[in-house]
A = this chain, B = another copy of it.
Amino acid sequence: MVKSRKSKEKEKEEVCQTIEIHPDIVKKVQENTPSEESLNKLAEFFKIMGDQTRIKILYALFNAGEMCVCDISYVLGKTQSAISHQLRILRQAKLVKFRKEGKVVFYSLNDEHVKEILDVGYSHIKEE
């Protein structure tokens, strides 16, 4: 069912004419791609990192080590409510952990990866 348009080059047959696709490429891609569930989780993870407020919270926690909600609100210039809502999301994603001391709740990064990912992202946006 596959019609290769050109075979000048050996591996260049993945052309897509009349809705027919070269099966080798398709197979290769399908085999090496993580499961649907993993891809879901991965997208979900990046989605959580993809918000300015949350990025700022993560950077603040990295620099301070540990901060209470009120401090974060002050530093970021956002309402306590907005910060609390975002902290809940970060908590559920297990990107931050917390510790209660009386009324005050201290948040900190939960994971070595978080800074690592921020760094890789940073070096990407800083390149050119």
Contacts and interface: CB of A to CB of B under 8 A. Distances in A.
Contacts of A66: 14
A45 B121 contact: yes
Interface residues of A, number: 61
A73 to B, nearest CB: 8
B38 A122 contact: yes
Interface string A4-30: 000000000011100101100110111
Contacts of A114: 124
A96 B54 CA distance: 26
Given A43-B50, A48-B50, A64 B117 contact: no
A52 B43 contact: yes
Contacts of A40: 52
